[in-house]
Structure 1
Amino acid sequence: MLLFPADVLRPRRVDDHFVPEAEAARELGVPYALVDHNALTSGEATRAVAKVPEGEAIYRGWMLTSDEYAAFDTALAKRGATLRTTAAQYRTAHELPGWHAALEPVTPAAEWTSGAGRAEFDEARRRLGHGPAVLRDYTKSMKHYWDEAVYIPSLTDADAAWRVASRFLELRADDFAGGFVLRRFESFTGAEVRTWWYGGECRLVGAHPDTPDTTPDGLDLAEVTPLVTALALPFITVDLVRHDDGRWRVVELGDGQVSDRPASMSASDLVALLA
């Protein structure tokens, strides 16, 4: 079965954002149940899953932290329901340190910290070396604040780099996840493409949600596929973009359960994949 978040004001209905997928599930004969997302993010996982029956499940909903997902998994298990993606697998996909080493040949170099302290940040900065870099945390960047909270023109300018990190931390506030991640800046061209992987195979290719009407041509997954397959993750997305030199580079890997579907992708195609 699929699990969707319930509408906040109408708890017997699917959240509006996921209605197309729920309707596709109904048409395809795929059962689904509702969970209370607010309860999940408020430490009340048992209450959140009170209406979920027994069986194997795949979540399609709003993003959860790794700890929230683990509590979700535990609460479902007590009801005889099993998430196809385990808590450990979710953390691997959801947090950059979980997948970066496996995809190192096809993604920008990165160093990270285990907190928000300046000393650790400076050490990670020194390890990455020199030149420009981009900043994020384990799960998210602030790309809409590129100049003030993402782009670091020079890793050797310690104070300027820390100003960017401080602004990032201010913007992320309580949502800051894990630690700082510094990634070597690479020059890309064109729009990103979002690929959907199920059982270790790329099953759908579509636009990135930020550019739903643009899907680049000529995608080549020959180098990426064996590396992604080796991660043995049940359901993930991999976002790629073309480097200036023509190579396809992995920008992000995420758990497919909380990855947004672009408006240009058929909900039926995605649900049929999961079914």
Structure 2
Amino acid sequence: MTRSSADGSGAQGAETPSILTKAFDLLHAFNPHERVMTLSELSRASGLPKSTVHRLLARLVDLGAVEHHRSGYKIGVGLLQLGASTPAGYMRDLAMPYLANLHRWTGQTVAFAVLREFDVVYLEKLAPTDSPSSIAQVGSRLPANCTAIGKILLAHENLDDLADFLPSPMPGMTPQSVTDVATLVDQLRTARGEGVARETDEAQLGLSCVATGLVMNGFAIGAVSVGFPTGTAMPAQLESALRDTASKVVKDVEAGLAKGRGHWFPREI
């Protein structure tokens, strides 16, 4: 099918990226480490010519997706409004009081995430001020097989079919990461049976994590985890506290869906 030349793509197929693709490439150049960037930095990070970046920035500023900063450009708060309008954002809002309680009780890092394909996407993270630097930040997307929170989400997929769809080998983040599909599926079966997943040094050396899922109709719509420095003695009631937190969030989500929002979540929820 021929595409309109107005979007900047080629006449046949997708040989040339569309203007929308280029705009998203530019937006993705921003990251938690580079929150304010100059035109030249954005050009290098996105791989787009400066002239293209200049035109895109002007339009994105008009739309509120990007804002001027005295030393360059930054993501606009208008995108925060869009992100907060997702069903996942609604679930995160309901979860916040329970996540905060778990964070206060453990004194450790509490995270909340969802599964997207074979990656876990972090919606919230509450960390103590003296916690070690972590690669998992709000908005981060990490391989699910490397994280406890990702494993518990995968554990509630169809495990009989999952091995046929997972990339083999799976991506690794440390020497401890489980990249063998058969080994991972065995771990997922155990996690599903126990209701919790664990990992030690698999996403980041020196950090461990325990997670449980928010299960509705047999499907994990999200998950909560507690992360801590490897070797830290954690309370014996940690797994119970995780399950209790997840149960309370699920109860609130179910109550919200009963008010005409049942189509917001998958798997007939």
Q: TM-score, normalised by structure 2?
A: 0.30
Q: Which has the larger radius of gyration?
A: 2
Q: Which one has the bigger helix percentage?
A: 2
